[in-house]
Chains A and B, each alone.
Chain A
Amino acid sequence: MDHDSLLQALRKAVQELMPQVDGVIALRRVGQGVAAHLYQAGDDLSDLTLEPSFPLPTSVRLIQARYPDKTFGVVVRGCDERQLIELAKRRQINLDRLRLIGVACSAQDAEFCQCDLPFPQQLSIGEQVEGVPQDFLDEFLAKPRQERLEFWKHAFSKCLKCYGCRNICPECFCKECVLEESLWVKSGTVPPPFPMFHLIRAMHTVGKCISCGECERTCPADIPLTVLYKLLRRDVERTFGYHAGANPDEAPLMDSTIFLADMDLLRPS
């Protein structure tokens, strides 16, 4: 299905859903870019679009917090659906008041995001394409330990502490963020001293991150954050069998009483 046909089908689906909901949250062409928008009955949908950009679930959370009693349609890509499910587990959004229209991303978009799962479980529009192989993870692991350390020290030395990675992440919703505590991350110095900030952030993504890649794309210092976060996500999947965003009825991994029966599984080789 080419992109134009996909957009046509998508707009049609949104039009059909509109009478059943109070509005539909989707991506809209804004200038040369795209951003989330709340379409309501009677709105022109010709600028409703789909691109591999923008942390849509954050907008959903904001709108739902303001209007908890309304029901909204949401156009979700694979990443959006998984993030919404993880947010729902943490009571940040209410899935019962959302009607999801699942859309598959194109192979081109999957490549752009380096996405390994470019479609939602509830897929209505578009065809599933294969995820992008994540070979770079094993390439990184082939480096000896000292080289890995130098790699990260160098990468993190460029950090401006703009908090972009945290700000853009839909899973980061804490009102008081530990990264702003001078007890942990020394204030007034840039880059933040290794390993504070970056390793704290990496650990906080565990069990929540679905690798949308927005953090890395917004980093002004081109720090390859997804290498670290994807390595951790892979461990979470292999060791605990936990796939973030897969099952809304599954308790969040790190904050629950699922017990890892065999700790030896994680002894480093």
Chain B
Amino acid sequence: MSSPEPTERPVYQPKIIGFLCNWCSYAGADLAGTSRIQYSPNIRVVRVRCSGRVSIELVLKTFHEGADGILVLGCHIGDCHYIDGNHRTSKRIPMLRQLLDYAGIEPERLRLEWVSAAEGDRFARIVNEFTEEIRRLGPIKQVMVT
């Protein structure tokens, strides 16, 4: 009888939360789906009306609850359904990344991108890249006190 195959260590599956704005990025994600473009299944999508609605409390709480990575996707500047909602996001998320860095948490765990309703392939590419980056960084529990 041959010796059993060494059992493979299970691959770490990061938990990614995506806050996608209703008008652009969520539609873009939908397009990726209908176009049958493959992307990492680790992302759990939360649809918001606007990326500007994603408050700092929401992001911090999401990390606190165990999200290994947070992706905030909104409309391109100038395309926001609410005119300037994404202007707020464009300042808020970079400042929050800075704060994470100062607090000793990898700022790469939080990412902001603009994805339009037509950019299904771009959505998939961003999700795949981000998932692999978070996989490399490891679980947030290493970092956070629960």
Q: Which residues of A are at the interface with B, using a C-beta cutoff of 8 A?
A: 140-141, 145-153, 178, 181, 183-184, 193-196, 199-200, 202-204, 206, 228, 231-232, 235-236, 239-240, 253-260, 263, 266, 268
B98: which of A153, A204, A235 is its contact (CB, 8 Å)? A235
Flag whether B96 is at the interface (Cβ < 8 A).
yes
Q: How far is the CA of A266 from the CA of B63 in the complex (A)?
A: 21
- CB neighbours (8 Å) of B129 from chain A are none
B57: which of A141, A184, A255, A260 is its contact (CB, 8 Å)? A184
- CB neighbours (8 Å) of B143 from chain A are 149
Q: How far is the CA of A266 from the CA of B93 in the complex (A)?
A: 10
Q: A193-B145, A266-B97 are in contact. Are A260 and B103 (CB under 8 A)?
A: no
A199: which of B92, B99, B108, B145 is its contact (CB, 8 Å)? B99
Contact B104 A184 (CB under 8 A): no
Flag whether B95 is at the interface (Cβ < 8 A).
yes
Closest to A200 in B: B57
Report how many residues on chain B are interfacial, defined by Cβ distance under 8 Å: 33
B106: which of A145, A152, A153, A184 is its contact (CB, 8 Å)? A145
Q: A149-B103, A195-B64, A254-B91 are in contact. Are A259 and B98 (CB under 8 A)?
A: no
Contact B90 A199 (CB under 8 A): no
- CB neighbours (8 Å) of B104 from chain A are 145-153
Closest to A137 in B: B102
Closest to A242 in B: B91
Q: How far is the CA of A232 from the CA of B91 in the complex (A)?
A: 12
11 residue pairs of the A-B complex, CB under 8 angstroms, read: A145-B101, A145-B104, A153-B104, A194-B144, A195-B60, A195-B64, A257-B87, A259-B77, A259-B87, A266-B98, A268-B101
B144: which of A195, A228, A240 is its contact (CB, 8 Å)? A195
Q: A195-B63, A195-B64 are in contact. Are A228 and B91 (CB under 8 A)?
A: no
- CB neighbours (8 Å) of A263 from chain B are 90, 94, 112
A204 to chain B, nearest CB (A): 8
- CB neighbours (8 Å) of B112 from chain A are 263
Contact B64 A228 (CB under 8 A): no
Contact B145 A153 (CB under 8 A): yes
Q: Which 6 A-B pairs have the closest CB atoms?
A: A149-B104, A148-B104, A266-B94, A257-B84, A203-B56, A257-B87
A232: which of B63, B83, B102 is its contact (CB, 8 Å)? B102
Flag whether B53 is at the interface (Cβ < 8 A).
no
- CB neighbours (8 Å) of A194 from chain B are 144-145
A196: which of B61, B84, B90, B94 is its contact (CB, 8 Å)? B61
Q: Which of B60-116 contact A (CB under 8 A)?
A: 60-61, 63-64, 77, 83-84, 87-88, 90-92, 94-99, 101-108, 112
B105: which of A195, A239, A240 is its contact (CB, 8 Å)? A195
Contact B103 A228 (CB under 8 A): yes
- CB neighbours (8 Å) of B61 from chain A are 183-184, 196
Flag whether B35 is at the interface (Cβ < 8 A).
no
Closest to B100 in A: A199
Closest to A149 in B: B104
Flag whether B146 is at the interface (Cβ < 8 A).
yes
Contact B106 A206 (CB under 8 A): no
Closest to B98 in A: A235
Closest to A255 in B: B88
Known contacts A145-B104, A153-B145, A260-B94, then 4 further A-B pairs from the complex at CB < 8 Å, ordered by chain A residue:
A149-B105, A195-B105, A203-B92, A263-B94
